[in-house]
Amino acid sequence: MLSVALMACSHSGKQPKLADECIYNPSKTQFCFWSNAAEQMEVLIYDEADSNQPSVISLAKGDNDFWTGSIDGDQAGKFYTVRSFQNGEWAPESPGIFAKAVSINGQRAAIIDMKATNPEGWAQDKRPAMTDPTDIVVYETHLRDFTISPVSGVAHKGKFLALTEEGTIIDHTNLQFRGNWSTGIDHLKELGITHLQILPMFDYGSIDETTLAKNNYNWGYDPVNYNAPEGGYSSDPADPACRIREAKQMVQALHKAGIRVIMDVVYNHTYDVMGCALGRVVPKYFYRLNEDGTFANGSGCGNETASDHEMMRQFMVESVCYWAREYHIDGFRFDLMGIHDQETMRAIRAALDEIDPTILTYGEGWAAMAPAYPYDSLAMKQWTYKMPRVGAFSDDIRNALIGSPFDHERGFASGNAACKDAVMRGLIACPEWSGEPMQHVSYITCHDNYCLRDRIEVSAKEDNWENQVRMNQLAQTAVLVSQGMTFIYGGEELFRTKRGIDNSYQSPDSINTIPWENKVFFNELYEYYRHMIAIRRAHKGFRLGSAEAVQEHVEFLPTENKHLICYHIKNLEGIDSAKSLLVLLNGGAKAIDAEIPEGIYTILAFDGEANEAGMGDYAGKHIFVEPYSATILAEN
Ligand code: CA
Task: Tell me if residue 364 is catalytic.
Answer: yes
| Residue 161 CA to ligand 1 centre (angstroms) | 17
Closest CA to 420 of 407, 435, 401, 395: 401
E-strand spans in 303-439? 331-334, 360-363, 391-393
Quote the pLDDT of residue 15. Answer: 76
- Residues 6 or more apart whose Cβ sits within 8 Å of residue 494: 514, 515, 516, 518, 519, 522, 525, 526
pLDDT at 12 over 60: no
Ligand 1 centroid to residue 152 C-alpha, Å: 24
CA of 191 relative to ligand 1 center, distance in Å: 31
Task: Find out whether 133 and 185 touch, Cβ atoms under 8 Å.
Answer: no
- Which residue among 165, 203, 264, 364 is the active-site one? 364
**Does the pLDDT value for residue 276 go beyond 90?**
no
Lowest mean pLDDT among 129-133, 277-281, 302-306: 277-281
For residue 419, is pLDDT > 50? yes
- Pick from 529, 281, 562: which is nearest to 420 by CA? 562
Centre of ligand 1 to C-alpha 371, Å, is: 27
Task: Please name which of 346, 283, 357, 284 lies closest in space to residue 313, comparing C-alpha atoms.
Answer: 346
Topology of domain 553-635, CATH: Immunoglobulin-like (2.60.40)
Kindly report, residue by residue over 532-577, the tens digit of the pLDDT.
999 999 999 999 999 999 999 999 999 999 999 999 999 999 999 9
Residue 16 has what pLDDT? Answer: 87
DSSP category for residue 123: G
CA of 32 to the centre of ligand 1 (A): 24
Q: Render pLDDT for 360-405 as a digit per residue (tens, 0 to 9).
A: 999 999 999 999 999 999 999 999 999 999 999 999 999 999 999 9
Res 312 pLDDT > 90: yes
**pTM confidence score:** 0.97
Instruction: Dump the DSSP string for 257-292.
Output: TT-EEEEEE--S--S-STTSHHHHHSTTTTB-B-TT
Cα–Cα distance measured from residue 443 to residue 262, given in angstroms and rounded to the nearest whole number: 16
Q: Where in the chain is the domain with CATH 2.60.40.10?
A: 2-117
* Mean pLDDT, the chain, integer: 96
CATH architecture of 133-542: Alpha-Beta Barrel (3.20)
Q: Are residues 597 and 583 in contact, defined by beta-carbon separation less than 8 angstroms?
A: no
How far, in Å, from the CA of 203 to the mean position of ligand 1? 4
Ligand 1 mean position, distance from CA 271 (Å): 12
Q: Please check the confidence at residue 4 and state whether its pLDDT lies above 80.
A: no
Mean pLDDT of 128-154: 97
Look up residue 420 and give its amino acid: K
What's the pLDDT tens digit per position in 70-119?
Answer: 999 999 999 999 999 998 999 999 999 999 999 999 999 999 999 999 99
* Helix H or strand E encompassing 592: strand 592-606
Average pLDDT over residues 2-6: 40
CA–centroid distance, 186 to ligand 1, in Å, is 28
pLDDT digits (tens, 9 = 90+) for 587-633: 999 999 999 999 999 999 999 999 999 999 999 999 999 999 999 99
pLDDT of 285 reads 93
Give pLDDT tens digits for 470-501.
Answer: 999 999 999 999 999 999 999 999 999 999 99
pLDDT score recorded for residue 271: 82
Catalytic residue among 203, 335, 607, 612: 335
Q: Which residue intervals of the chain bear CATH 2.60.40.1180?
A: 553-635
Cα distance between residue 290 and residue 83, in whole Å: 27
Instruction: Please give the pLDDT value at position 280.
Output: 86
| Average pLDDT rounded to a whole number, residues 574-590 | 98
Q: Is residue 335 annotated as a catalytic residue, yes or no?
A: yes
For 244-264, the pLDDT digits (tens) are 999 999 999 999 999 999 999
φ, ψ for residue 236, nearest 5 deg: -145, 90
- What local confidence, expressed as pLDDT, does residue 10 receive? 44
Distance 211 CA to ligand 1 centre (A): 11
Note the pLDDT tens digit of each residue in 520-531.
999 999 999 999
Mean pLDDT, rounded, for 502-514: 97
- How many angstroms separate the alpha carbon of residue 526 from the centre of ligand 1? 34
Query: Beta partners for 361?
Result: 332
Cα 164 to ligand 1 centre (Å): 21
Give the per-residue pLDDT at 13. 53
Q: How far is the CA of 100 from the centre of ligand 1 (A)?
A: 13
Centroid of ligand 1 to alpha carbon of 312 (angstroms): 22
* pLDDT score of 279: 85
Q: What residues does CATH 3.20.20.80 cover in the chain? A: 133-542
Query: Superfamily for 2-117?
Result: Immunoglobulins (2.60.40.10)
**What confidence score (pLDDT) does residue 273 get?**
86
Residue % of the chain over a pLDDT of 90: 94
- Of the two residues 393 and 8, the one the predictor is more confident about is 393
